[in-house]
Structure 1
Amino acid sequence: MELIDIGANLTHESFDHDRDAVLQRARAAGVAQMVITGASREHSPRALELARAHPGELFATAGVHPHHASEYTAECDAEMRTLHAHPEVVAVGECGLDFFRDFSPRPAQRRAFEMQLQIGVDTGKPLFLHQRDAHEDFMAMMKNFDGRLGPAVVHCFTGTREELFDYLDQDWYVGITGWLCDERRGLHLRELVKHIPADRLMIETDAPYLLPRTVKPSPSHRRNEPMYLAHIVEELARDRGEYVATTAAHSTAAARAFFRLPSR
Protein backbone atom coordinates (compact mmCIF):
# COMPACT_ATOMS: atom_id res chain seq x y z
CA MET A 1 0.00 0.00 0.00
CA GLU A 2 1.46 3.33 -1.13
CA LEU A 3 0.08 6.47 0.54
CA ILE A 4 0.59 10.23 0.12
CA ASP A 5 0.05 12.59 3.04
CA ILE A 6 -1.03 15.84 1.38
CA GLY A 7 -0.86 17.92 4.56
CA ALA A 8 1.73 17.47 7.31
CA ASN A 9 3.10 20.33 9.40
CA LEU A 10 6.53 18.76 9.79
CA THR A 11 8.20 22.11 10.44
CA HIS A 12 6.37 22.24 13.79
CA GLU A 13 8.70 22.43 16.79
CA SER A 14 7.28 19.21 18.25
CA PHE A 15 9.19 17.35 15.52
CA ASP A 16 12.53 19.07 16.10
CA HIS A 17 13.91 16.31 18.33
CA ASP A 18 12.94 13.29 16.20
CA ARG A 19 12.02 14.41 12.67
CA ASP A 20 14.18 11.74 10.99
CA ALA A 21 12.57 9.02 13.09
CA VAL A 22 9.12 10.38 12.20
CA LEU A 23 9.96 10.12 8.52
CA GLN A 24 11.25 6.59 8.97
CA ARG A 25 8.08 5.49 10.77
CA ALA A 26 6.01 7.03 7.98
CA ARG A 27 7.94 5.11 5.32
CA ALA A 28 7.46 1.88 7.27
CA ALA A 29 3.70 2.56 7.35
CA GLY A 30 3.53 2.93 3.56
CA VAL A 31 3.69 6.72 3.24
CA ALA A 32 5.71 7.15 0.05
CA GLN A 33 5.49 10.93 -0.28
CA MET A 34 4.36 13.93 1.76
CA VAL A 35 3.45 17.53 1.09
CA ILE A 36 4.76 19.70 3.93
CA THR A 37 2.41 22.55 4.74
CA GLY A 38 3.76 26.09 4.62
CA ALA A 39 1.35 28.29 6.57
CA SER A 40 3.26 31.40 7.62
CA ARG A 41 6.19 33.66 6.72
CA GLU A 42 8.27 31.69 9.21
CA HIS A 43 7.29 28.15 8.27
CA SER A 44 6.88 28.32 4.46
CA PRO A 45 10.67 28.72 3.91
CA ARG A 46 11.26 25.88 6.38
CA ALA A 47 8.87 23.65 4.45
CA LEU A 48 10.90 24.33 1.30
CA GLU A 49 14.16 23.54 3.12
CA LEU A 50 12.73 20.23 4.31
CA ALA A 51 11.52 19.34 0.82
CA ARG A 52 14.89 20.15 -0.72
CA ALA A 53 16.59 17.90 1.86
CA HIS A 54 14.42 14.94 0.76
CA PRO A 55 14.06 15.19 -3.04
CA GLY A 56 11.30 13.12 -4.58
CA GLU A 57 9.86 12.23 -1.17
CA LEU A 58 8.93 15.54 0.44
CA PHE A 59 7.36 18.54 -1.27
CA ALA A 60 6.13 21.85 0.11
CA THR A 61 3.38 24.40 -0.08
CA ALA A 62 4.02 28.10 0.51
CA GLY A 63 1.43 30.42 1.91
CA VAL A 64 -0.01 32.22 4.91
CA HIS A 65 -2.84 30.71 6.95
CA PRO A 66 -5.73 33.07 7.81
CA HIS A 67 -4.63 32.98 11.46
CA HIS A 68 -1.45 34.80 10.33
CA ALA A 69 -3.13 37.06 7.76
CA SER A 70 -2.08 40.21 9.60
CA GLU A 71 1.53 39.49 8.59
CA TYR A 72 0.64 39.43 4.88
CA THR A 73 2.31 42.65 3.73
CA ALA A 74 3.63 43.53 0.28
CA GLU A 75 7.01 42.31 1.50
CA CYS A 76 5.45 39.01 2.57
CA ASP A 77 3.82 38.67 -0.85
CA ALA A 78 7.23 39.10 -2.50
CA GLU A 79 8.67 36.42 -0.18
CA MET A 80 5.90 33.98 -1.12
CA ARG A 81 6.48 34.62 -4.81
CA THR A 82 10.20 33.92 -4.39
CA LEU A 83 9.39 30.62 -2.71
CA HIS A 84 7.06 29.68 -5.56
CA ALA A 85 9.93 29.97 -8.01
CA HIS A 86 11.24 26.68 -6.60
CA PRO A 87 9.89 23.48 -8.18
CA GLU A 88 9.71 21.75 -4.78
CA VAL A 89 6.87 24.14 -3.87
CA VAL A 90 3.87 22.43 -5.44
CA ALA A 91 0.88 24.48 -4.24
CA VAL A 92 -0.20 27.92 -3.07
CA GLY A 93 -1.31 27.98 0.56
CA GLU A 94 -2.32 27.11 3.14
CA CYS A 95 -4.59 30.07 2.55
CA GLY A 96 -8.24 30.92 2.99
CA LEU A 97 -10.62 32.25 5.64
CA ASP A 98 -11.18 31.27 9.27
CA PHE A 99 -13.99 33.11 11.07
CA PHE A 100 -14.15 30.50 13.85
CA ARG A 101 -11.37 32.08 15.89
CA ASP A 102 -10.65 35.34 14.08
CA PHE A 103 -6.99 35.34 15.10
CA SER A 104 -6.54 37.95 12.36
CA PRO A 105 -9.19 40.59 11.56
CA ARG A 106 -11.54 39.56 8.78
CA PRO A 107 -10.52 42.38 6.41
CA ALA A 108 -6.88 41.25 6.77
CA GLN A 109 -7.93 37.66 6.09
CA ARG A 110 -9.76 38.65 2.92
CA ARG A 111 -6.82 40.73 1.69
CA ALA A 112 -4.26 37.98 2.34
CA PHE A 113 -6.50 35.39 0.68
CA GLU A 114 -7.05 37.55 -2.39
CA MET A 115 -3.32 38.21 -2.79
CA GLN A 116 -2.55 34.51 -2.57
CA LEU A 117 -5.26 33.64 -5.06
CA GLN A 118 -3.51 36.06 -7.41
CA ILE A 119 -0.29 34.08 -6.89
CA GLY A 120 -2.27 31.03 -7.96
CA VAL A 121 -3.34 32.84 -11.12
CA ASP A 122 0.20 34.02 -11.86
CA THR A 123 1.94 30.69 -11.21
CA GLY A 124 -0.71 28.24 -12.39
CA LYS A 125 -0.06 26.15 -9.29
CA PRO A 126 -2.86 24.35 -7.47
CA LEU A 127 -4.39 25.83 -4.33
CA PHE A 128 -4.23 24.37 -0.81
CA LEU A 129 -7.25 25.95 0.88
CA HIS A 130 -8.56 26.45 4.41
CA GLN A 131 -12.13 27.38 5.30
CA ARG A 132 -13.81 27.39 8.69
CA ASP A 133 -17.06 29.14 9.54
CA ALA A 134 -16.61 31.41 6.51
CA HIS A 135 -18.23 29.45 3.72
CA GLU A 136 -20.27 32.23 2.12
CA ASP A 137 -17.38 34.70 1.98
CA PHE A 138 -15.00 31.94 0.89
CA MET A 139 -17.18 30.92 -2.04
CA ALA A 140 -17.72 34.55 -3.07
CA MET A 141 -13.98 35.25 -3.13
CA MET A 142 -13.25 32.12 -5.12
CA LYS A 143 -16.00 33.09 -7.59
CA ASN A 144 -14.20 36.39 -8.21
CA PHE A 145 -11.37 34.32 -9.72
CA ASP A 146 -13.58 32.01 -11.81
CA GLY A 147 -11.80 30.60 -14.83
CA ARG A 148 -8.36 31.89 -13.80
CA LEU A 149 -7.28 29.38 -11.15
CA GLY A 150 -5.83 25.91 -11.39
CA PRO A 151 -7.13 22.95 -9.37
CA ALA A 152 -8.02 23.48 -5.71
CA VAL A 153 -8.23 21.25 -2.65
CA VAL A 154 -10.19 22.19 0.45
CA HIS A 155 -7.84 20.69 2.97
CA CYS A 156 -8.95 19.14 6.28
CA PHE A 157 -12.62 19.12 5.34
CA THR A 158 -14.84 19.15 8.44
CA GLY A 159 -17.89 20.96 7.07
CA THR A 160 -21.51 20.35 6.22
CA ARG A 161 -23.18 18.43 3.41
CA GLU A 162 -24.04 21.73 1.74
CA GLU A 163 -20.43 22.88 1.87
CA LEU A 164 -19.15 19.58 0.50
CA PHE A 165 -21.48 19.65 -2.49
CA ASP A 166 -20.65 23.29 -3.18
CA TYR A 167 -16.99 22.25 -3.43
CA LEU A 168 -17.73 19.22 -5.56
CA ASP A 169 -19.89 21.34 -7.88
CA GLN A 170 -16.74 23.42 -8.54
CA ASP A 171 -14.73 20.26 -9.32
CA TRP A 172 -12.50 20.93 -6.30
CA TYR A 173 -10.70 18.20 -4.42
CA VAL A 174 -11.35 17.34 -0.77
CA GLY A 175 -8.79 16.41 1.89
CA ILE A 176 -9.88 14.10 4.71
CA THR A 177 -8.02 13.89 8.04
CA GLY A 178 -8.35 12.05 11.34
CA TRP A 179 -11.29 14.34 12.17
CA LEU A 180 -13.23 11.45 10.61
CA CYS A 181 -12.27 9.38 13.66
CA ASP A 182 -13.59 11.85 16.24
CA GLU A 183 -16.82 10.51 17.72
CA ARG A 184 -17.59 13.95 19.20
CA ARG A 185 -17.20 16.14 16.11
CA GLY A 186 -16.65 13.94 13.06
CA LEU A 187 -19.51 11.47 12.93
CA HIS A 188 -21.26 13.35 10.10
CA LEU A 189 -18.17 12.79 7.92
CA ARG A 190 -18.71 9.03 8.07
CA GLU A 191 -21.68 9.47 5.76
CA LEU A 192 -20.44 12.42 3.70
CA VAL A 193 -17.20 10.79 2.52
CA LYS A 194 -19.24 8.29 0.49
CA HIS A 195 -20.19 11.13 -1.87
CA ILE A 196 -16.66 12.27 -2.74
CA PRO A 197 -15.63 10.98 -6.19
CA ALA A 198 -12.60 8.71 -5.98
CA ASP A 199 -10.56 10.92 -8.29
CA ARG A 200 -11.09 13.98 -6.06
CA LEU A 201 -10.50 12.41 -2.64
CA MET A 202 -7.15 12.88 -0.89
CA ILE A 203 -5.95 12.00 2.59
CA GLU A 204 -3.83 13.84 5.12
CA THR A 205 -2.83 13.79 8.77
CA ASP A 206 -2.44 17.54 9.44
CA ALA A 207 0.25 16.37 11.86
CA PRO A 208 1.01 17.17 14.65
CA TYR A 209 -2.68 18.06 15.01
CA LEU A 210 -5.77 15.84 14.85
CA LEU A 211 -4.41 12.53 16.14
CA PRO A 212 -7.12 9.99 15.20
CA ARG A 213 -9.06 9.25 18.38
CA THR A 214 -9.57 5.63 17.28
CA VAL A 215 -5.82 4.83 17.26
CA LYS A 216 -5.18 2.19 19.91
CA PRO A 217 -3.18 2.36 22.03
CA SER A 218 -3.28 6.14 21.97
CA PRO A 219 0.19 7.66 22.39
CA SER A 220 0.58 9.50 25.68
CA HIS A 221 1.93 12.65 24.02
CA ARG A 222 -1.14 12.98 21.72
CA ARG A 223 1.07 14.13 18.84
CA ASN A 224 -0.16 13.09 15.42
CA GLU A 225 2.39 12.04 12.82
CA PRO A 226 2.31 10.82 9.21
CA MET A 227 2.54 7.12 10.08
CA TYR A 228 -1.09 7.33 11.24
CA LEU A 229 -2.20 8.03 7.66
CA ALA A 230 -2.55 4.26 7.30
CA HIS A 231 -5.11 4.25 10.12
CA ILE A 232 -7.06 7.10 8.51
CA VAL A 233 -7.26 5.33 5.16
CA GLU A 234 -8.53 2.17 6.86
CA GLU A 235 -11.36 4.09 8.54
CA LEU A 236 -12.12 5.98 5.33
CA ALA A 237 -12.31 2.78 3.29
CA ARG A 238 -14.72 1.24 5.77
CA ASP A 239 -17.00 4.26 5.61
CA ARG A 240 -16.93 4.26 1.81
CA GLY A 241 -17.58 0.53 1.58
CA GLU A 242 -14.30 -0.11 -0.25
CA TYR A 243 -11.26 -2.28 0.13
CA VAL A 244 -8.46 -0.39 1.88
CA ALA A 245 -6.19 -1.00 -1.11
CA THR A 246 -8.77 0.61 -3.40
CA THR A 247 -9.11 3.77 -1.31
CA ALA A 248 -5.35 3.99 -0.93
CA ALA A 249 -4.70 3.59 -4.65
CA HIS A 250 -7.32 6.15 -5.66
CA SER A 251 -6.21 8.77 -3.12
CA THR A 252 -2.57 8.33 -4.11
CA ALA A 253 -3.40 8.69 -7.81
CA ALA A 254 -5.48 11.80 -7.08
CA ALA A 255 -2.66 13.38 -5.06
CA ARG A 256 -0.04 12.66 -7.72
CA ALA A 257 -2.24 14.17 -10.40
CA PHE A 258 -3.20 17.23 -8.34
CA PHE A 259 0.29 18.16 -7.11
CA ARG A 260 2.05 16.80 -10.22
CA LEU A 261 4.23 14.52 -8.13
CA PRO A 262 6.58 11.98 -9.68
CA SER A 263 6.05 8.28 -9.14
CA ARG A 264 8.46 6.55 -6.78
Structure 2
Amino acid sequence: MRHALDLVAGGASGPPHEGFEVGYVDQGGSEFRRPLADVWAVRFEGCVPVRDFKSYKGQWHLPGLWWSSTMGGHIGYESWLERDHVMLLDFDPSVVGVSSQPFWLFWASKTGKGLSHAPDYFARREDGSAVVVDCRPVDRRRPRDWVKFEATQSACSQVGWHFRLVGAPDGIVMRNVRWLAGYRHPRHRVEDAVSDLRRVFAEPRPLMDGAASVGDPIAVLPVLFHLLWLHELVVDVSVPLHTASLVSPGVRR
Protein backbone atom coordinates (compact mmCIF):
# COMPACT_ATOMS: atom_id res chain seq x y z
CA MET A 1 0.00 0.00 0.00
CA ARG A 2 1.44 3.39 -0.98
CA HIS A 3 1.01 6.46 1.15
CA ALA A 4 1.70 10.09 0.21
CA LEU A 5 3.03 10.58 3.73
CA ASP A 6 4.01 7.78 6.11
CA LEU A 7 6.07 9.08 8.99
CA VAL A 8 7.37 7.27 12.03
CA ALA A 9 8.29 8.86 15.32
CA GLY A 10 12.00 8.37 15.57
CA GLY A 11 12.25 6.28 18.67
CA ALA A 12 10.11 8.57 20.82
CA SER A 13 9.08 6.47 23.80
CA GLY A 14 6.65 8.85 25.41
CA PRO A 15 5.59 12.44 25.97
CA PRO A 16 6.28 15.28 26.66
CA HIS A 17 5.18 18.23 24.55
CA GLU A 18 3.76 21.65 25.37
CA GLY A 19 1.24 23.25 23.05
CA PHE A 20 -0.99 20.38 21.96
CA GLU A 21 -4.10 19.26 23.80
CA VAL A 22 -6.22 16.23 23.03
CA GLY A 23 -9.97 15.87 23.48
CA TYR A 24 -11.57 12.43 23.51
CA VAL A 25 -14.56 10.43 24.74
CA ASP A 26 -14.02 7.13 26.55
CA GLN A 27 -16.21 4.06 26.18
CA GLY A 28 -18.36 5.17 29.08
CA GLY A 29 -19.15 8.47 27.36
CA SER A 30 -17.00 10.66 29.62
CA GLU A 31 -15.32 13.58 27.86
CA PHE A 32 -11.71 14.58 28.50
CA ARG A 33 -9.36 17.32 27.32
CA ARG A 34 -5.77 16.86 28.38
CA PRO A 35 -2.25 17.87 27.36
CA LEU A 36 -0.76 15.61 24.71
CA ALA A 37 1.89 14.52 27.21
CA ASP A 38 -0.83 13.00 29.42
CA VAL A 39 -2.62 10.90 26.78
CA TRP A 40 0.13 9.09 24.89
CA ALA A 41 -0.84 5.79 26.56
CA VAL A 42 -4.64 6.15 26.18
CA ARG A 43 -6.22 3.22 24.30
CA PHE A 44 -7.79 5.37 21.60
CA GLU A 45 -8.75 2.29 19.61
CA GLY A 46 -11.51 1.81 22.17
CA CYS A 47 -12.75 5.39 22.31
CA VAL A 48 -16.06 6.76 21.05
CA PRO A 49 -15.93 8.96 17.91
CA VAL A 50 -15.64 12.64 18.79
CA ARG A 51 -17.79 13.63 15.82
CA ASP A 52 -21.10 12.36 14.48
CA PHE A 53 -21.32 10.83 11.01
CA LYS A 54 -23.98 13.06 9.52
CA SER A 55 -26.15 12.08 6.58
CA TYR A 56 -28.36 14.53 4.71
CA LYS A 57 -29.99 14.94 1.33
CA GLY A 58 -27.71 16.24 -1.41
CA GLN A 59 -24.41 15.72 0.43
CA TRP A 60 -21.31 14.95 -1.63
CA HIS A 61 -19.76 12.50 0.81
CA LEU A 62 -21.29 9.10 1.45
CA PRO A 63 -21.00 8.25 5.16
CA GLY A 64 -21.74 4.84 6.57
CA LEU A 65 -20.72 2.05 8.92
CA TRP A 66 -18.17 -0.67 8.22
CA TRP A 67 -18.57 -3.95 10.11
CA SER A 68 -15.03 -4.73 11.25
CA SER A 69 -13.92 -8.32 11.77
CA THR A 70 -11.03 -6.93 13.82
CA MET A 71 -13.33 -5.15 16.26
CA GLY A 72 -16.41 -7.34 15.95
CA GLY A 73 -18.52 -4.21 15.51
CA HIS A 74 -19.14 -1.17 13.33
CA ILE A 75 -16.68 1.62 12.54
CA GLY A 76 -17.92 4.84 10.98
CA TYR A 77 -16.64 6.46 7.81
CA GLU A 78 -17.47 9.75 6.10
CA SER A 79 -16.59 8.93 2.49
CA TRP A 80 -15.87 5.99 0.22
CA LEU A 81 -12.18 6.82 0.47
CA GLU A 82 -12.38 6.45 4.25
CA ARG A 83 -14.37 3.24 3.80
CA ASP A 84 -11.63 1.81 1.59
CA HIS A 85 -8.95 2.64 4.13
CA VAL A 86 -10.82 1.28 7.13
CA MET A 87 -11.30 -1.87 5.04
CA LEU A 88 -7.54 -2.05 4.46
CA LEU A 89 -6.89 -1.55 8.17
CA ASP A 90 -9.37 -4.33 8.90
CA PHE A 91 -7.51 -6.56 6.42
CA ASP A 92 -4.08 -5.77 7.88
CA PRO A 93 -3.05 -8.74 10.06
CA SER A 94 -0.82 -6.55 12.24
CA VAL A 95 -3.77 -4.35 13.31
CA VAL A 96 -5.63 -5.45 16.45
CA GLY A 97 -7.79 -2.37 17.09
CA VAL A 98 -9.31 0.49 15.06
CA SER A 99 -11.43 3.52 15.89
CA SER A 100 -12.76 6.37 13.75
CA GLN A 101 -12.62 10.07 14.64
CA PRO A 102 -10.63 9.03 17.75
CA PHE A 103 -9.81 12.46 19.20
CA TRP A 104 -9.64 16.20 18.68
CA LEU A 105 -6.18 17.70 18.49
CA PHE A 106 -6.05 21.34 19.68
CA TRP A 107 -3.20 23.81 19.27
CA ALA A 108 -2.51 27.49 18.56
CA SER A 109 -0.99 28.99 15.43
CA LYS A 110 2.03 31.31 15.55
CA THR A 111 -0.39 34.21 15.69
CA GLY A 112 -2.26 32.68 18.61
CA LYS A 113 -5.29 31.51 16.65
CA GLY A 114 -6.88 28.35 18.05
CA LEU A 115 -6.87 25.41 15.64
CA SER A 116 -8.23 21.90 15.84
CA HIS A 117 -8.32 18.69 13.83
CA ALA A 118 -9.91 15.25 14.23
CA PRO A 119 -7.92 12.55 12.37
CA ASP A 120 -9.93 9.91 10.55
CA TYR A 121 -8.60 6.75 12.21
CA PHE A 122 -6.50 5.42 15.05
CA ALA A 123 -5.13 1.88 14.70
CA ARG A 124 -3.32 -0.24 17.26
CA ARG A 125 -0.85 -2.87 16.07
CA GLU A 126 -0.23 -6.17 17.81
CA ASP A 127 3.23 -4.98 18.90
CA GLY A 128 1.61 -2.10 20.78
CA SER A 129 2.57 0.63 18.31
CA ALA A 130 -0.06 3.02 16.98
CA VAL A 131 -0.96 4.56 13.62
CA VAL A 132 -2.97 7.73 13.09
CA VAL A 133 -4.53 7.98 9.62
CA ASP A 134 -5.91 10.92 7.66
CA CYS A 135 -7.63 10.28 4.31
CA ARG A 136 -7.66 12.98 1.65
CA PRO A 137 -7.45 12.73 -2.17
CA VAL A 138 -4.22 14.23 -3.48
CA ASP A 139 -6.07 16.81 -5.60
CA ARG A 140 -8.09 18.03 -2.60
CA ARG A 141 -5.26 18.87 -0.21
CA ARG A 142 -5.47 22.62 0.24
CA PRO A 143 -2.95 24.79 2.14
CA ARG A 144 -5.20 24.98 5.20
CA ASP A 145 -5.42 21.18 5.17
CA TRP A 146 -1.64 20.84 5.10
CA VAL A 147 -1.42 23.02 8.20
CA LYS A 148 -3.57 20.47 10.04
CA PHE A 149 -1.82 17.42 8.60
CA GLU A 150 1.61 18.77 9.49
CA ALA A 151 0.47 19.64 13.01
CA THR A 152 -0.93 16.12 13.42
CA GLN A 153 2.34 14.67 12.15
CA SER A 154 4.24 16.78 14.67
CA ALA A 155 1.98 15.71 17.54
CA CYS A 156 2.27 12.04 16.58
CA SER A 157 6.04 12.26 16.41
CA GLN A 158 6.08 13.63 19.97
CA VAL A 159 4.38 10.53 21.39
CA GLY A 160 5.81 7.76 19.21
CA TRP A 161 2.84 7.22 16.89
CA HIS A 162 3.10 6.69 13.15
CA PHE A 163 1.19 9.15 10.97
CA ARG A 164 -0.20 8.35 7.54
CA LEU A 165 -1.75 10.76 5.07
CA VAL A 166 -3.39 8.54 2.46
CA GLY A 167 -5.11 9.06 -0.86
CA ALA A 168 -6.66 6.63 -3.29
CA PRO A 169 -5.33 3.10 -2.72
CA ASP A 170 -4.00 0.84 -5.47
CA GLY A 171 -6.96 -0.19 -7.61
CA ILE A 172 -6.05 -3.86 -7.98
CA VAL A 173 -5.32 -4.29 -4.27
CA MET A 174 -8.59 -2.57 -3.41
CA ARG A 175 -10.67 -4.74 -5.73
CA ASN A 176 -9.13 -7.91 -4.32
CA VAL A 177 -9.54 -6.83 -0.69
CA ARG A 178 -13.10 -5.69 -1.34
CA TRP A 179 -13.93 -9.14 -2.74
CA LEU A 180 -12.38 -10.96 0.21
CA ALA A 181 -14.13 -8.59 2.61
CA GLY A 182 -17.42 -10.10 1.50
CA TYR A 183 -16.35 -13.24 3.36
CA ARG A 184 -14.91 -11.63 6.51
CA HIS A 185 -17.75 -12.65 8.83
CA PRO A 186 -17.15 -15.71 11.07
CA ARG A 187 -20.27 -17.39 9.62
CA HIS A 188 -18.08 -18.40 6.68
CA ARG A 189 -15.78 -20.43 8.93
CA VAL A 190 -16.71 -24.11 8.58
CA GLU A 191 -14.11 -25.99 10.62
CA ASP A 192 -14.13 -29.24 8.62
CA ALA A 193 -13.44 -27.29 5.43
CA VAL A 194 -10.84 -25.15 7.24
CA SER A 195 -8.84 -28.25 8.17
CA ASP A 196 -9.06 -29.66 4.65
CA LEU A 197 -8.03 -26.36 3.06
CA ARG A 198 -5.05 -26.01 5.35
CA ARG A 199 -3.95 -29.51 4.37
CA VAL A 200 -4.50 -28.95 0.63
CA PHE A 201 -2.64 -25.62 0.63
CA ALA A 202 0.22 -26.76 2.87
CA GLU A 203 2.25 -26.17 -0.29
CA PRO A 204 1.45 -23.40 -2.83
CA ARG A 205 -1.31 -24.49 -5.17
CA PRO A 206 -3.70 -22.82 -7.65
CA LEU A 207 -6.80 -21.47 -5.94
CA MET A 208 -9.55 -23.30 -7.83
CA ASP A 209 -7.58 -26.53 -8.15
CA GLY A 210 -7.13 -26.69 -4.39
CA ALA A 211 -10.71 -25.71 -3.59
CA ALA A 212 -12.14 -28.32 -5.97
CA SER A 213 -10.01 -31.04 -4.38
CA VAL A 214 -11.74 -30.36 -1.04
CA GLY A 215 -15.31 -30.47 -2.33
CA ASP A 216 -17.98 -28.57 -4.21
CA PRO A 217 -16.45 -25.13 -4.92
CA ILE A 218 -19.81 -23.47 -4.20
CA ALA A 219 -19.48 -24.65 -0.61
CA VAL A 220 -15.70 -24.51 -0.28
CA LEU A 221 -14.82 -21.16 -1.86
CA PRO A 222 -16.54 -18.98 0.82
CA VAL A 223 -14.45 -20.75 3.46
CA LEU A 224 -11.30 -20.31 1.39
CA PHE A 225 -11.97 -16.59 0.89
CA HIS A 226 -12.60 -16.25 4.64
CA LEU A 227 -9.20 -17.80 5.37
CA LEU A 228 -7.56 -15.50 2.82
CA TRP A 229 -9.20 -12.50 4.53
CA LEU A 230 -7.76 -13.66 7.85
CA HIS A 231 -4.33 -14.42 6.32
CA GLU A 232 -4.54 -18.00 7.54
CA LEU A 233 -3.94 -18.71 3.87
CA VAL A 234 -2.32 -16.06 1.69
CA VAL A 235 -2.43 -14.91 -1.91
CA ASP A 236 -0.77 -12.02 -3.72
CA VAL A 237 -3.39 -9.26 -3.71
CA SER A 238 -1.21 -6.92 -5.79
CA VAL A 239 -2.28 -8.81 -8.93
CA PRO A 240 -5.86 -9.66 -9.98
CA LEU A 241 -7.30 -12.59 -8.06
CA HIS A 242 -8.23 -15.46 -10.40
CA THR A 243 -8.73 -19.22 -10.47
CA ALA A 244 -5.01 -19.90 -10.99
CA SER A 245 -3.78 -17.57 -8.21
CA LEU A 246 -1.28 -19.38 -6.01
CA VAL A 247 -2.53 -19.87 -2.47
CA SER A 248 0.04 -20.59 0.25
CA PRO A 249 0.06 -21.27 4.00
CA GLY A 250 -0.33 -18.17 6.13
CA VAL A 251 -0.56 -17.34 9.81
CA ARG A 252 -2.10 -20.09 11.92
CA ARG A 253 -4.82 -18.65 14.18
TM-score by length of 1: 0.28
TM-score by length of 2: 0.29
Larger strand share, 1 or 2: 2
* Larger Rg over CA atoms: 2
Larger helix share, 1 or 2: 1
